[in-house]
Structure 1
Amino acid sequence: MTFCDTSTQLADDRDERAGGGIRRAERLGRVERGPDGRGHCRLSVPGISCGKCIGAVERALSDCEGVVAARANLTLRQVAITLRDPETDPAPAIERLGAQGYPATLIDLAAPGDAQADDAARFLLRCLAVAGFGATNVMLLSVSVWAGAEGAARDVFHAVSALIAVPVVAYAGRPFFASALTALRGGRLNMDVPISLAVLLATAISLVETAMRGPHVYFDAAVVLLFFLLVGRYLDQLMRAKARSAVTSLARLASRGAMRERPDGTDVYLALDDIRPDMVLRIAPGERIPVDGCIVGGATDLDRSLVTGEHAPVPAGPGVALEAGILNLTGAIRMRVLRPAGDSFLAEVARMLEAAEQGRGAYVRIADRAARLYAPVVHLLAALTFVGWVVATGEWYPSLFIAISALIITCPCALGLAVPVVHVAAAGRLFRQGIMMKDGSGLERLATIDCVVFDKTGTVTTGTPVVTGGGPDAAEGLAVAAALATRSLHPASRAIAALADGPPVPVDDLRETPGCGIEGVVEGRRARLGRPDWVAEIATGGQRSGSAGPAFALEGGPLKTFTLSETLRDGAAEAVAALRAAGMQVELLSGDSAGAVEAVARKIPFDHVRHGATPADKIAHLKALQAEGRRALMVGDGLNDAAALAAAHVSMAPGSASDAGRMAADFVFTREAMGAVTDARRIARRAARQVRQNFGIAIAYNCIAIPLAVAGYVTPLVAAIAMSGSSIVVVANSIRPERRAPGAAPAMRSAPA
């Protein structure tokens, strides 16, 4: 985040921008500096309602001053904008969207709220109530006319219907009229233009008929049409809210602030945006961690289910890293802030989930192109329908109503919603499994894989070796070896240090020799831990070769070698077996030595195993697979895997991976269990099926509905019901819960469903 000091804010608060009306202090509080050094902000654009709107908004911003990139989000009705730098004013982008008929407002990046969505839902509900009242009463009056009322009685019923219908249409039609008007002012057409045209034409014709004491009026059709359209739009609003719940629920996990410990020992409450790196915060039991940091004092138990998917309390003390959003359960702690709120784990997860439906995969591009053709095609179709029926029958009243039905029934909403709602729902399912998705196009690619390539260290294995044998026979010697090991950061030393039992042994004259090991003096005798040939210089006999593990010796004593082995990640063997059973070719591609790789391969049967691979070798291997027509999933974690992760068809990295590895991967799983790989593939394949089903529903609807409407078999009322129903069916299909066969258990799942 970019912030101003108090004096700057007070000065800038008085400096309103002409036209934009955005105060600089407010603007800077909502523009974030990204890792690329550019500015990032988010705009709320309630007018985004279909796939055509996405293209119109992005095209409008493509050449806007200061805007580097823009990506519209249909489910959230927001636009994520990348600015030239954090100081760039977003006001020109807001003005450009307003001129195109898409009023926009700047919103807070740190807290994706849904207050605006709630206001829109309440407004739709009020309109729906008014339309329901009007529809009920107008239909009762219409029944009297249909029952045979004639002459003056019929005229009175028509006049009373007009008195009810006109104000109802004026109020309940506002969501459609306002949207259509802003679109026309911006020189474009949207789905609400034909809807508004149909309702206003029906109402206008009815008023003329009432004034001329004609036999037929259509107030009931206009009001009931609005009622059913509003039912569909309100349900669509509710389903969109459910689909984006994975994003908005994160806001409830974010703390609003925390108590900061001052240098003089006193505490002061700070809002979340005022918390800076290196500050020390006090976190009481029951509070959530506000930002990323580490414990510097106190001990507690943590609920880290947000990160790992595991709800079992985890003990934590000084030095333990904390992620924003996890819950402090039992003890008061002091934590040092590592990153501001905008760069926290929780903010990163929110950004990943919001990006879930913004990817431009093959399915999204198809839906965008189809929705873009909607406006000109549907108006041309309605015009041709009207002309054709007038020529065929010579009557313009019935012809006009058939054209109105064609206007209403031909809607691209179902097609526009086919992909993004599936992607955002899948992102929520992945998140509940401890997997974060960066892009919807990655989900499409994951569903098509036929080959999986695993790195070894840190991926198939935990990357932390453990002692499985060897070492000093006496407890005293083991304590000295552990005391030496605690002074080193080498992974092998950490494994030996874990063997310490009891108080630490005092070691004098401690020094580490790079490439050899660590040495110290214990009770007047030199002690060494490290490379066997170096340790052997002070030993008298014993093991000197034959083992690649670290050796230990006290001066004049025997040389003892530790046997180390890597620990397989939980569920690794089961995940590989499941992938092979599904017809995947599974490979182990590692830069480690032959012995270490073969030791893992003996425990897990891979189709192909390769050791000693450099980063260039890994990229070359993935390109070779691609040349063979393979679509490979690369799973790796290290800095040396980053290029391979980026080169693969699709990629995954564990949460413990290097920063470069996490940035390059399409998916990041925070669970310890390797079952995240199979869970992600299952969810991706299910999402692909749902997208195809949604396309089928949308295409079938239009293939059936349009000919019926043009042929005159559909009234405006039936058209409204059909149009709303198609969108609701598509959204409901996208968010329906996963069903398993009776008796089937979730495979390798450690996170709650």
Structure 2
Amino acid sequence: MRSVERAAMRVPGVATARASLAAKRLTATYDPAATCEADVIAALDRVGFEAATLEESKEDRGDQRQKYLLRRVAVAGFAAMNIMLISIAVWSGEGGDMDPALAQMFRWLSALIALPTVIYAGEPFFVSAYSALKGRRLNMDVPISLAIILATGMSIYQTMEASEQVYFDAAVTLLFFLLVGRYLDEALRVRARGEAQNLLSLQNGIVTLVAEGGSQTKVPASALRPGDRILVAVGERVGADGVVAHGTGEVDQSLITGETMPVGVTDGAEVYAGTLNLTRSLEIEVTAADDATLLAEISRLMMAAEQGKARYRVLADRAAQIYAPAVHGLGLATFVGWLVFGASWQTALTYAIAVLIITCPCALALAVPVVQIAAASRLFKRGVMVKVPDGLERIAEVDTVVFDKTGTLTLGEPQLLDAGNVPADTLAAAASLASGSRHPFSRALVAAAEERLGSVEVARDVEETPGEGLSVKTARSEERLGSAAWCGVEGAAGQTAEVWYRRGDDEPVCFRFADRLRPDAAETVAALKARGLAVALLSGDREGVVARTAREAGIDVFVGELKPAGKISWLEDCANEGRKVLMVGDGLNDAPALAAAHASMSPATAADISQRAADFIFQGRALSPVVEAIKTGSRARTMAFQNFGVALVYNAICVPLAMAGFVTPLIAAIVMSSSSILVTLNATRLAGGPRP
């Protein structure tokens, strides 16, 4: 990984370079006046890495790579089974009545099977090792290739000498197990990348463009620009983000919000690329297209989870880099040591090959990356995007969870309280006056009236005074809806937001609103407490409103009327006490606190600056992704340490045994490959499971 970054950084004009082996991407910033992408690609080619610009490689080649590996797994497995059967026949005949000529024929038959198998199935390792050596560096495929070539070459020599000590079975079995592990690793990566890339394919179709004169033409969705109008028929997916210009219907936004219930839309409603139109044709005005859509942003967030270097991953990368030269040293020491103690060069080389095989750092190198990929994949299926790789490690360490109120613990959608206690005629009149306003309280009032009365008559000739309210004059009186002062009411501040309605000289009526908690807010808080986490609520809202919300959610610690600096100060106090805080917020004023916290999350509806500051983005109306992220982070940390433990214990036990001559190349191949497969399978347990 560092070799890739160093090669890119040596190109004049390149300012930064960050490689992700999991994503197989290099992200670089450079001065266009000094260099270009072609120069970076050429520099990578000189050190043995084939590269292409992202635009040239948009076609997902994950399936091709999987098929490439699967073919070699099949060939190696078939060859290993046949060579093993031949070897068993030879072993059982030794010391018995098997004709030596027949045994020698079996060895040549094994060689005829093994040699083309090693050349074909070993290609992924040989190509990688050659590229590394060409770039004057070492990777884990160098000792693997060396061990396979030495085992095969020595076995051919021994066969020519009619010796009984041949290890074709070891070389081919080693290849088989290594390829199985590499195939599983590739499948895990493809699944993690594919889930994000599949989203983009839902917006990259053909759409119906509506011209100013009303004519319709079919164009690729990538050709759309803001301001264009498209017609989306029933059963089609929206090709870009936009607003409904004409039409009423229902859409399936489960890809965006995670909610499976259809959402009603009408003129002015926002819709997103990938949304499925369910009922009636809609004409949509494009606001964002192609790479600027929300789906594209989700895909970028998902890929960002594999960019950068987490702490445990850095440790694994460094260990693997140091390990390769050490492996060669151990192999050479074993060979020389056995020669010094009087062993034949064949015996010494056999033990050295076993050491090279058994000390392959595959398990160590895979220990953390496969867990990170599996964890990101699991969270993605549950509506959570991991933005930074070390976010998984940090969220596993938190002991306190702090929520913002509006838009985070609540939905940011006001709801009319005690609507049933308001006289029906008063509710109808107030809702009629509010029906033409886009104010959140007006919409909530109309929604409550429609729910209770069935329909609302739209008032005409309504005048709106910014900052005050609405008014309409009738033949008999004037009606007003708005602030207390606007309706002639003195003083009215409580624990909820208030809107007043007054008709002429009648007694004014107060409509009280409260922001609705997310549907599972109380359950989420209870689940966090059950895990032993402290939970707090910080908000810039009035103390009384914050207290009421905290009480409904089951939160004991709350602070209201906090400015952004106050939130940061509160978080710093926690840090000084040794506490590690997860901050969950969505507003512009939450961005500094999100950046200051030990770990941070934002809903997908959050302001852009908050999303940039957060480590995780979650979708939908539920808060359960917060608990899921903490659980997954904890499990990922546990599995990373488990994988480290497997790799270290394996080496501590097996390397001395191999150097002492107690392990043959065949046993070394089986044991080493099993450790690599074990850490990969351990990680797949984390990625599995359906969306809850």
State TM-score, norm by structure 1. Answer: 0.84
Q: Residues of 2 paired with 1:589 and 1:612: CA distance?
A: 8
> How far off its partner does 1:380 sit?
0.9
Structure 1 pair 279–164 and aligned structure 2 pair: CA distance change class (3 A): same
Q: Residues of 1 paired with 2:290 and 2:464: CA distance?
A: 40
1:435–1:671 CA contact under 8 A, matched in 2: no
- Structure 2 equivalent of residue 339 of structure 1: 288
Q: Which moved more, 1:568-577 or 1:136-145?
A: 136-145
- Structure 2 equivalent of residue 512 of structure 1: 465
Which structure 1 segments of 5+ residues have no match? 1-53, 537-542, 741-750
> How far off its partner does 1:160 sit?
4.9
**1:528 aligned residue (476, 480, 499):** 480
In the alignment, structure 1 residue 715 sits paired with structure 2 residue 628: no
In the alignment, structure 1 residue 123 sits paired with structure 2 residue 75: no
SS where residue 532 of structure 1 aligns?
coil
- Structure 2 equivalent of residue 656 of structure 1: 605
Q: Residues of 1 paired with 2:122 and 2:83: CA distance?
A: 16
> How far off its partner does 1:234 sit?
3.3
**1:580 aligned residue (529, 543, 547):** 529
Structural mapping, 1:298-697, within 5 Å: 298-469=247-418, 477-500=426-449, 502=455, 504-508=457-461, 510-514=463-467, 516-523=468-475, 525-536=477-488, 544-547=490-493, 549-697=498-646
Q: Which moved more, 1:78-87 or 1:175-184?
A: 78-87
Structure 1 pair 265–394 and aligned structure 2 pair: CA distance change class (3 A): same
Q: Residues of 2 paired with 1:731 and 1:737: CA distance?
A: 10
Structure 1 pair 511–195 and aligned structure 2 pair: CA distance change class (3 A): closer
Q: Which moved more, 1:519-528 or 1:273-282?
A: 519-528
In the alignment, structure 1 residue 204 sits paired with structure 2 residue 142: no
> How far off its partner does 1:347 sit?
1.5
Q: Residues of 1 paired with 2:619 and 2:165: CA distance?
A: 66
Q: Which moved more, 1:163-172 or 1:611-620?
A: 163-172
**2:44 aligned residue (78, 97, 105):** 97
Aligned residue pairs, count? 681
> How far off its partner does 1:452 sit?
1.4
- Structure 2 equivalent of residue 704 of structure 1: 653
Q: Which amino acid aligns with 2:62?
A: A
Deviations 1:460-486 (A, max 9, x none): 222222222489966555444334434
2:603–2:618 CA contact under 8 A, matched in 1: yes
Q: Residues of 2 paired with 1:408 and 1:178: CA distance?
A: 18
1:446–1:684 CA contact under 8 A, matched in 2: yes
2:410–2:518 CA contact under 8 A, matched in 1: yes
Deviations 1:403-456 (A, max 9, x none): 111111112222222222222222222222222221221111111111111111
> How far off its partner does 1:379 sit?
0.7
Q: Residues of 1 paired with 2:338 and 2:575: CA distance?
A: 56
Say what the alpha-carbon RMSD is for the aligned residues.
2.9
In the alignment, structure 1 residue 176 sits paired with structure 2 residue 125: yes
Q: Residues of 2 paired with 1:582 and 1:227: CA distance?
A: 43
> How far off its partner does 1:378 sit?
0.8
SS where residue 390 of structure 2 aligns?
helix
2:243–2:270 CA contact under 8 A, matched in 1: yes
Structure 1 pair 508–423 and aligned structure 2 pair: CA distance change class (3 A): same
Q: Which moved more, 1:403-412 or 1:306-315?
A: 306-315
Deviations 1:279-309 (A, max 9, x none): 1112222222222222222233222222232
Q: Which moved more, 1:364-373 or 1:135-144?
A: 135-144
SS where residue 305 of structure 2 aligns?
helix
1:650–1:666 CA contact under 8 A, matched in 2: yes
Q: Residues of 2 paired with 1:724 and 1:244: CA distance?
A: 25
1:65–1:93 CA contact under 8 A, matched in 2: no
Q: Residues of 2 paired with 1:217 and 1:601: CA distance?
A: 74
1:113–1:248 CA contact under 8 A, matched in 2: no
Q: Residues of 1 paired with 2:103 and 2:623: CA distance?
A: 74
SS where residue 536 of structure 2 aligns?
strand
1:259–1:269 CA contact under 8 A, matched in 2: yes
Structural mapping, 1:52-71, within 5 Å: 54-71=1-18
2:435–2:458 CA contact under 8 A, matched in 1: no
Q: Which amino acid aligns with 2:463?
A: L
SS where residue 373 of structure 1 aligns?
helix
1:272–1:341 CA contact under 8 A, matched in 2: yes
Q: Residues of 1 paired with 2:65 and 2:458: CA distance?
A: 68
- Structure 1 equivalent of residue 678 of structure 2: 729
Structural mapping, 1:734-753, within 5 Å: 734-736=683-685, 752-753=691-692
Structure 1 pair 554–342 and aligned structure 2 pair: CA distance change class (3 A): same
SS where residue 277 of structure 1 aligns?
coil
Q: Residues of 2 paired with 1:474 and 1:167: CA distance?
A: 88
> How far off its partner does 1:524 sit?
6.3
Q: Residues of 2 paired with 1:666 and 1:377: CA distance?
A: 37
Q: Residues of 2 paired with 1:488 and 1:235: CA distance?
A: 57
SS where residue 656 of structure 2 aligns?
helix
Structure 1 pair 463–384 and aligned structure 2 pair: CA distance change class (3 A): same
Q: Residues of 1 paired with 2:254 and 2:303: CA distance?
A: 21
1:618–1:644 CA contact under 8 A, matched in 2: yes
SS where residue 288 of structure 1 aligns?
coil
Structure 1 pair 639–718 and aligned structure 2 pair: CA distance change class (3 A): same
SS where residue 360 of structure 1 aligns?
coil
In the alignment, structure 1 residue 108 sits paired with structure 2 residue 55: yes
State TM-score, norm by structure 2. Answer: 0.90
SS where residue 673 of structure 1 aligns?
coil
> How far off its partner does 1:370 sit?
0.8
Deviations 1:191-234 (A, max 9, x none): 12112222222333344444455554444443444344334433
Structure 1 pair 714–640 and aligned structure 2 pair: CA distance change class (3 A): same
Deviations 1:493-525 (A, max 9, x none): 3333434554544443724143x3333323363
> How far off its partner does 1:628 sit?
1.1
The structure showing larger relative contact order (alpha-carbon pairs under 8 Å, at least 6 residues apart) is 2
Q: Give the share of equivalent positions with the same residue, in percent.
A: 45
Q: Residues of 1 paired with 2:606 and 2:678: CA distance?
A: 40
Q: Which amino acid aligns with 1:120?
A: R
Q: Residues of 2 paired with 1:298 and 1:271: CA distance?
A: 23
Q: Residues of 1 paired with 2:499 and 2:156: CA distance?
A: 95
SS where residue 288 of structure 2 aligns?
coil
Q: Residues of 1 paired with 2:378 and 2:86: CA distance?
A: 50
